[in-house]
Amino acid sequence: MTELDPVIHAQARLRVVASLSALGEGDQAAFPWLQEILGMTAGNLSVHLRKLEDAGYVAVTKTHRGRTPTTLIALTRRGQLAFEEYTATIHALLNPADKKEPT
């Protein structure tokens, strides 16, 4: 049986990755938007984004919009693949009959 990815499996990181996976390919989420939809504190979100970034699952870009600092977050291709594998593993765990061959 395939194990669940421990980086994604933490509830907060799973919510982050799921939210980012809903964006269009190449789209980025602004940090305040992500914080608001997830209902997380800035510090908590930052900690989880760092773990996802260290794993190569998200890209964090710090830039400016005018004079205002802006942090943008995007799911990387590696992150998208890891999330797809994670959801496939969950599906297989919930529906073991789907894996069995007919007798």
Per-residue pLDDT reduced to its tens digit, 42-97: 999 999 999 999 999 999 999 998 898 999 999 999 999 999 999 999 999 898 87
Domain boundaries defined on the chain: 6-95
Cα 72 to Cα 53: distance, rounded to the nearest angstrom: 12
Sheet holding 68-75, edge to edge: 29-30, 68-75, 58-65
Per-residue pLDDT at 25 exceeds 90: no
CATH topology of domain 6-95: Arc Repressor Mutant, subunit A (1.10.10)
Structure tokens at 97: 């009959």
Judged by DSSP in three states, 86 sits in: helix
Residue 1 has pLDDT above 70, yes or no: no
For 2, half-sphere exposure in the C-beta direction (CA atoms, 13 angstrom radius) is 15
The pLDDT score that the predictor gives to residue 57 is 98
Higher per-residue pLDDT: 93 or 38: 38
